[in-house]
Amino acid sequence: MKQYSNALFIVVVLGYCGVAFAIDPPPAYVKHCASCHTADGSGRASSAIGKIPDLRSKTIVSLSDQELFGAIARGNGHQAYAHSFLNQGVSESELRGIEKYVRAIQSGSTPAVPVKPNSPR
Ligand code: HEC
């Protein structure tokens, strides 16, 4: 009986960890990005400044880490909305955390927020 309850304990702990593996968006992402790109990165088909791209799209996935950082920190190549968060009081380490979160969403290792299977890509 004792063995049985040990096994049960392990199953419960593993189950709990499984849930904890989904990464929540870092506070800096929630504060500076989620209003446009949404918590799960899916973006918006339309907004006051036009379409907000899906952060999991092929184009953004294929950016190198340096390009991704440059896009977020300095708005390299942006037309609709210049992301220059490095000049807007967001620290480099916060931006690195955001970058890590974007990569996690892209790899599918998180969605912190369930993604609708029929959401437009
Ligand atoms: C006011 C709305 C808004 C906010 C806030 C915002 N974005 Fe964007 N984002 C956009 C729009 C619009 C584009 C398309 C840019 C363009 O083409 O000019 C975009 C593009 C991007 C891209 C694609 C870059 C590329 O070179 O193709 C990335 C990555 C990105 N945003 C990440 C972020 C992150 C991370 C944050 C928070 C630090 C953020 N954005 C905050 C609206 C926003």
CATH number of the domain at 86, please: 1.10.760
Q: How far apart are CA 33 and CA 101, in angstroms?
A: 11
DSSP state of 57: S
| pLDDT tens-digit readout, 32-68 | 999 999 999 999 999 999 999 999 999 999 999 999 9
The residue contributing the CA closest to ligand 1 atom 20 is: 53
Number of domains making up the chain: 1
| pLDDT tens-digit readout, 65-120 | 999 999 999 998 888 888 999 999 999 999 999 999 999 999 987 655 544 445 44
Q: Which of 76, 78, 83 to mutate to test the pocket of ligand 1 (most atoms within 8 A of CB)?
A: 83
Alpha helices, DSSP H only, in 21-121? Answer: 27-32, 34-37, 58-61, 65-74, 92-107
Q: How far is the CA of 79 from the centre of ligand 1 (A)?
A: 10
Residue 117 included in any domain? no
Residue 115 included in any domain? no
Residue 17 included in any domain? no
Which domain range does residue 91 map to?
A: 24-107
